[in-house]
Structure 1
Amino acid sequence: MSLQTEWIHFEQDGVKHRLYTSRLARAKTPLPVVIVIQEIWGTDAHIRDLTDRFAKAGYLAVAPDLFAVEGKRPETLTEERIEQVKAFLETLPPPAWHDAQAREAALEQQPPKAREELRATYADVFAHLKLFPQLLEKLKAAVSFLEGYALSKGQKIASTGYCMGGALSLQLASSVPNLAGSVVYYGHLLNKEQVATIECPVLGFFGELDAKINAHLPEFVSAMKEADKSFTYEVYEGAHHAFFNDTRGAYHVKASRDAWEKTLAFFKQVLV
């Protein structure tokens, strides 16, 4: 199965953006689009692999690089630097990842240059959790570009996102009336005001052991029901946050298999 993959740059409203694209080389275009929205770690190998999986299902699959500034990654947010942070964090117990005191104690054991680079990249990566309005604008720019792009012009567009990207997939649904569908994997959920502006069907996947996210699920379910919005979801027994990421210890194969099948069925329904 031959894929055509490439990074492309486009300009929208005077701002340059960067986008990973993947499609079957022999597929006739234009194609319906699946926008794959990154976790906090960016458009890394895992996100590009997911994008390729959607391309193999017959879509133009794209992953916007939300860390790019004017189409280019800042030095602290290059993929190499982010991979170094991920490798460092994997040496710590998960509770220490967001424990500043424990993390700093571990950083002090690193050589000075590595310590400062790790600290700077960690800070810049997680600063994006407070930049959702700017990240959402980048996603909306991608939608506008894809609406006129030769390989997708005139076709429907839907989104899927993971963790931070899951939250952004929902926010995109709340902000873009013509989005065909939105999938959220264990992302922060919306309030009633944001729910009111959703026009497309929404599909959600959550891990039973992901207490922080799941605490808001009943309120979101109620808000979607009261607003007469389409929302179906699964909560997988024994699954943690990030259960779909097969590069992390939280990976749950049974939950992931079921979620993948349901995601493809959802996109077939809303896009084709």
Structure 2
Amino acid sequence: MTSPTQNTYKQYSTHSPEYSIPQEAFDWYDEYAHGLIDRRTFLAKLSKLVALGFSMSVLSAALLPNYALAEQVSFNDADIKAEYATFASPNGYGEGRGYLVTPASLSGQAPVVLVVHENRGLNPYIKDVARRLAKAGFIAFAPDALHTLGGYPGNDDEGRSMQKSLDKAKIEQDFLAAASFLKAHPASNGKLGAVGFCFGGYVVNMLAARMGEQLAAGVPFYGTPAAKELRANIQAPLLIQLAELDKRVNATWPDYEQDLKANDAIFEMHMYPQANHGFHNDSTGRYDKDNAELAWSRTLNFFKQHLA
């Protein structure tokens, strides 16, 4: 597929085959996915690319998730045990529910990692991330903020609308309760880590700011920081993963970095070149395999260092 401005486009993989999609399309999708523009406006912007010679099917394949592509560890993998667990959340929505995955060979105690989804509920990609952690030897728990509404509905658009309808403060309390539930798991070694993506990245920053020393390590992927007045409470080491093309989140980084330095926080930040917001999510064309694998290897090493 070509267009008059082909030389300004970057190659993005939709897993099969590769299409040249303009960066603007990924920026528009990010605006749509985070509520900055509505669906009608998003589609109107895409229609301009159709006029340049792109088909809507090609654009949809590059931008919208195909969760069949995101399974790296099967739910019935012999090395893990996957189940669901509920927990009490008296300051949130009363009860939470999440996807609990443990190493099948676990005979004693192990470090625990909370996995926090994006702004659309517990989709298959996030469940797979939990399985990847269990495969690496951690006990992983991925709560679903949409539990009280029936859980992730099976598609991201509806999931986003459902999550938007909820009280953000209560959602945060649910994740705080989930973190405490996981830390107290009978097989936990008492060392709690958290990793999150997009909204989940914000939640990891929020947990670090609210939990103090109760959180042993946090890895926010392209997440905005906690409220400024809370940042002085951060005690957990943070591994901050950002994408070079993610203008929205990156605009918050200089102020956050300044506060972390002022408070003598332990942190490291990695900016992944030519990567989009969502580059770790292997269900869409925003996925950047090389950067995603590097970021994930850093994540595992960080947790092994701080949670052992």
TM-score with structure 1 length normalisation?
Answer: 0.79
Deviations 1:93-116 (A, max 9, x none): xxxxxxxxxxxxxxxxxxxxxxxx
Match of 1:26 among 94, 98, 105: 105
The 5 Å alignment of 1:102-113 reads none
Question: Which amino acid letter does the alignment assign opposite residue 207 of structure 1?
Answer: A
**Which residue number corresponds to residue 126 of structure 1?**
164
**Which residue number corresponds to residue 61 of structure 1?**
140
In 1, Cα distance between the equivalents of 2:96 and 2:131? 20
Match of 1:167 among 202, 211, 231: 202
Deviations 1:142-192 (A, max 9, x none): 12222332222x421110100000000110111112100111100112344
Deviation at 1:65, TM superposition (A): 1.2
Root-mean-square deviation (CA), in Å?
1.8
In 1, Cα distance between the equivalents of 2:283 and 2:131? 16
What secondary structure sits across from 1:141 in the alignment?
Answer: helix
Question: Which amino acid letter does the alignment assign opposite residue 115 of structure 2?
Answer: V
Deviation at 1:57, TM superposition (A): 0.8
Change in Cα spacing, 1:45 to 1:230, as seen in structure 2 (3 Å) is: same
1:219 aligns with 2:255: yes
Identical counterparts, % of pairs: 32
What secondary structure sits across from 2:190 in the alignment?
Answer: coil
In 2, Cα distance between the equivalents of 1:160 and 1:243? 15
Question: Which amino acid letter does the alignment assign opposite residue 211 of structure 1?
Answer: K
Deviations 1:233-271 (A, max 9, x none): 111111011010000111111111110111011101110
4+ residue segments displaced more than 6 Å: none
In 1, Cα distance between the equivalents of 2:88 and 2:233? 27
Q: Is the 8 A contact 1:43 1:65 kept in 2?
A: yes
Match of 1:238 among 250, 263, 274: 274
**Which residue number corresponds to residue 11 of structure 1?**
88
**Which residue number corresponds to residue 88 of structure 1?**
none
Deviations 1:56-90 (A, max 9, x none): 11010110111112xxx33xx5423x35x3xxxxx
**Which residue number corresponds to residue 157 of structure 1?**
192
In 1, Cα distance between the equivalents of 2:237 and 2:229? 17
**Which residue number corresponds to residue 51 of structure 1?**
130
Question: Which amino acid letter does the alignment assign opposite residue 306 of structure 2?
Answer: V
In 1, Cα distance between the equivalents of 2:225 and 2:184? 30
Q: Is the 8 A contact 1:201 1:229 kept in 2?
A: yes
Instruction: Return 5+ residue gaps in structure 2 as ranges.
Output: 1-77
In 1, Cα distance between the equivalents of 2:147 and 2:289? 32
In 1, Cα distance between the equivalents of 2:152 and 2:294? 33
In 1, Cα distance between the equivalents of 2:152 and 2:205? 27
Deviation at 1:122, TM superposition (A): 4.8
**Which residue number corresponds to residue 290 of structure 2?**
254
The 5 Å alignment of 1:89-100 reads none
Worse-superposed segment, 15-24 or 163-172: 15-24
TM-score with structure 2 length normalisation?
Answer: 0.70
Change in Cα spacing, 1:10 to 1:122, as seen in structure 2 (3 Å) is: closer
Q: Is the 8 A contact 1:12 1:145 kept in 2?
A: no
What secondary structure sits across from 2:196 in the alignment?
Answer: strand
Instruction: Return 5+ residue gaps in structure 1 as ranges.
Output: 86-117
Deviation at 1:23, TM superposition (A): 1.3
**Which residue number corresponds to residue 183 of structure 1?**
219
What secondary structure sits across from 1:140 in the alignment?
Answer: helix
Question: Which amino acid letter does the alignment assign opposite residue 166 of structure 1?
Answer: G
Question: Which amino acid letter does the alignment assign opposite residue 222 of structure 2?
Answer: Y
